[in-house]
Structure formats: structure tokens, C-alpha cells
């Protein structure tokens, strides 16, 4: 039996914009799949479920067990309207941004999560979730990099905004290993126009080239990294880095944001190695696809059988 994946329509920000949502169901046996479409931004590769370019995913950490691991491949046409989902409300405080640092796997922008100032609620979430951090995943080339895929197609990068359930848990550490503890907004990244707000982060990347380095960012508004069209898919999943806890409600945006070629190239100048170690480029930091199993997946109100223009040749 195929699982389902829910597509939500339009996150709502603090100004009160809202819309409804939809549900994506696994296609019944014998249901015809639509033909694969080409990516308009170049040779957009179709990724094999078991490919692993990063050494982290070639060892024991890649096989955690469990039934709701992430990331997954999203089938666009498997969506139907779900009137039960509420709008997702997003409110972030730029002043809560603390610093950016090189974790050795990706660069991570940290936020002050001691208060309710920055967070999300509504949508598939029963409680308020505070923003903890955001980070990106990217490939060594433009043909790979995103963790989730749509109909087997990849984007060159993917943004994750990580939140924790501040009603049910005392802190992020407890939430990570708890039921309904974490909510992650995933945003696909494609090549295109320069992203002026992202450039504020790109400018400081040379300061954190080595593993463990950190730098001040100053006020930064993470909502600028969300697409104008806020339709989304949502499904129950896991963290995509160890400990791979199955505590995550995923909210994956249907539409990508654009960044310039040189901005994505700047990500690839970072190193996974510390001072004195053999230099290792920070690339291909995405986890291979995981089986969908029997999970429910939901989506947007007028779920189109046609993917966004960015997928059309």
C-alpha cells in the first residue's frame, strides 16, 4: 500500500494572510503516473534512491531502522484537497538571529529560542514551535543537492528551517527525541536571479570556512528565504542528520526560491575540515532518499497535475 503526502496551501505570516490546504494520497494500483518532465535550468538529474556521495551516508549511520525516515521522493499528482488542515502561521523576529557557524557538515544560522518571538503554528501543527536554526544542503555540482525530490527530480540545494515544540517540551534537546517534537520547513533552491537577502550570509562565509568557526550575522529575517507562493506538502518524518530521530513534521514548500550561480558556488568554498586537518570540501551534504512506507502525505487545495514552471522544459 502506498503512503500519502499532504500538500498545504500558503503559509500565513503575522500580517494575517491565509488560505486553505490539500491532501496528497498514494496512487492506487494501476494508476498511471505522469511522464517524467525535464528541469528548465539544465541537466536536472533523476536521483537514485540509494545514492550516497557523502562519507557520512556510507557507514552505519545510514541505516537507523524505523518506519518514517526522511527525506522522501514526492509524487506531485498524488494530491487531493484536505479541508481539515488549517493555515500555517509564520512569525520571525530578525533580532533573534545570533550567529552563523560551520558544523563540519553544513553552515548553520542559530536563533535565540528562549522566547516565543520567532516561530510557527497552525497548519499540521497542534502547538507553537520556536525557530532554532536554519541550514542548507547542496551538491558538488548543480545536478544534485536537495534532500527531497519531486517525481524523482532534484534541485541543486535545499533550505531547512528547524523549529521545536515549545509547548510540549522544555528545550530543543528534549524535543528532538520526543513525539511531535520538531517541525521543519523545507524550501527547494534553484539557480536564477540573485537573492539579495541571502547575500548577507554569503558575505560572511569566508569567515567560517573551517569547521567550528563562527561569525556574527546581526539581525536577519529568515522569512525572506520563503517563496512568495507558500503552498506546501506535509508528512511525518525524521531528522536527516544523526540521530535521525522520527520526531519531525515536514512542511516542504512546493515552489523554490532562486539564488545566483556565484551564491551557490560560495557554499562550496566551505570546508568540512578543521585547522590542521587535511582539507575536505563541504559538498554533497544531503542524505539519500528513504522509503515512504505507509505514511500519510498532505497537500494544497487545488493540487495541480502540472508541476511548477521550474520543472518544465
Residue 283 confidence (pLDDT) above 70: yes
Alpha carbons 11 and 81: distance in angstroms, whole number = 16
Give the start-to-end residue ranges of the domains of the chain: 6-311
What is the average per-residue pLDDT within 115-125?
94
Q: How confident is the model at residue 75 (pLDDT cuts 50, 70, 90)?
A: confident
Give the CA count within 13 Å in the CB-facing half-sphere of 226: 23
Cβ-Cβ contacts under 8 Å for 48 (sequence gap 6 or more): none
Query: Is residue 284 very low, low, confident or very high in pLDDT (cuts 50, 70, 90)?
Result: very high
- Output 286 or 2, whichever has higher pLDDT: 286
**pLDDT(113) > 60:** yes
Residue 4 confidence (pLDDT): 47
Q: Quote the pLDDT of residue 86.
A: 78
Q: Of the candidates 55, 44, 78, 28, which has an alpha carbon nearest to the alpha carbon of residue 285?
A: 55
Question: Does residue 211 carry a pLDDT above 50?
Answer: yes
Pairing status of strand 97-102 against strand 73-74:
unpaired
Residue 189 has pLDDT above 60, yes or no: yes
pLDDT of residue 52: 56
Asked if the model's pLDDT at residue 107 lies above 90, the reply is: yes
Q: Residue 276: how many CB atoms within 10 A of its CB?
A: 6
299 or 160, higher pLDDT: 160
C-alpha pair distances (Å), 97 with each of 109, 136, 162: 7, 16, 13
Percentage of the chain beyond pLDDT 90 is 64
Q: Are 300 and 7 in contact (CB under 8 A)?
A: yes
The whole-number pLDDT of residue 132 equals 98
What's the pLDDT at 262? 98
Averaged pLDDT score across all residues of the chain? 81
pLDDT given at position 7? 52
Q: In this predicted structure, what is the pLDDT of residue 293?
A: 79
Between 269 and 14, the more confident residue is 269
On the question of pLDDT at 26 being above 70, the answer is no
pLDDT category at 81 given cuts 50, 70, 90 is low
State the pLDDT at residue 222.
98
Q: What per-residue confidence (pLDDT) applies to 162?
A: 98
- The three cell numbers of residue 260 are 545566483
Is the entire prediction scored with pTM above 0.85?
Answer: no
Task: Check whether 303 has a pLDDT greater than 70.
Answer: no
> What superfamily does domain 6-311 belong to in CATH?
Alpha carbonic anhydrase (3.10.200.10)
Amino acid at each position: 500500500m502506498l503512503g500519502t503526502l499532504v500538500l498545504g496551501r500558503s503559509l500565513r505570516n503575522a500580517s494575517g494572510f491565509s488560505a486553505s490546504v490539500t491532501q496528497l494520497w498514494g496512487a492506487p494500483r494501476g494508476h498511471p503516473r505522469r511522464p517524467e518532465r525535464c528541469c528548465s535550468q539544465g541537466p536536472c538529474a533523476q536521483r537514485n534512491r540509494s545514492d550516497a556521495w557523502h562519507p557520512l551516508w556510507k557507514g552505519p549511520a545510514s541505516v537507523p531502522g524505523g518506519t518514517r525516515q526522511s527525506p522522501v521522493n514526492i509524487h506531485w499528482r498524488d494530491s487531493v484537497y484536505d479541508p481539515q488542515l488549517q493555515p500555517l502561521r509564520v512569525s520571525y523576529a530578525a533580532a533573534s538571529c545570533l550567529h552563523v557557524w560551520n558544523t563540519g557538515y553544513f553552515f548553520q544560522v542559530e536563533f535565540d529560542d528562549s522566547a516565543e518571538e520567532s516561530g510557527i503554528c497552525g497548519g499540521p501543527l497542534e502547538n507553537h514551535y520556536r525557530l532554532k536554526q536554519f541550514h542548507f544542503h547542496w551538491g558538488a555540482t548543480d545536478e544534485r543537492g536537495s534532500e527531497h525530490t519531486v517525481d524523482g527530480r532534484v534541485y541543486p540545494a535545499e533550505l531547512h528551517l528547524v523549529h521545536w515544540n515549545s509547548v510540549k517540551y522544555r528545550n530543543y534537546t528534549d524535543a528532538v527525541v520526543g513525539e511531535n517534537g520538531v517541525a521543519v520547513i523545507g524550501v527547494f533552491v534553484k539557480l536564477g536571479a540573485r537573492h539579495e537577502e541571502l547575500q548577507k550570509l554569503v558575505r560572511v562565509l569566508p569567515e567560517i570556512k573551517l569547521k567550528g568557526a563562527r561569525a556574527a550575522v546581526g539581525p536577519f529575517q529568515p522569512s525572506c528565504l520563503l517563496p512568495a507562493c507558500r503552498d506546501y506538502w506535509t508528512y511525518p518524518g525524521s531528522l536527516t542528520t544523526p540521530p535521525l530521530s522520527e520526531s519531525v513534521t515536514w512542511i516542504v514548500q512546493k515552489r523554490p526560491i532562486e539564488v545566483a550561480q556565484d551564491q551557490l558556488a560560495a557554499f562550496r568554498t566551505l570546508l568540512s575540515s578543521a585547522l590542521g586537518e587535511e582539507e575536505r570540501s563541504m559538498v554533497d551534504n544531503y542524505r539519500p532518499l528513504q522509503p515512504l512506507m505507509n505514511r500519510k502525505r498532505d497537500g494544497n487545495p487545488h493540487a495541480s497535475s502540472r508541476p511548477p514552471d521550474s520543472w518544465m522544459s
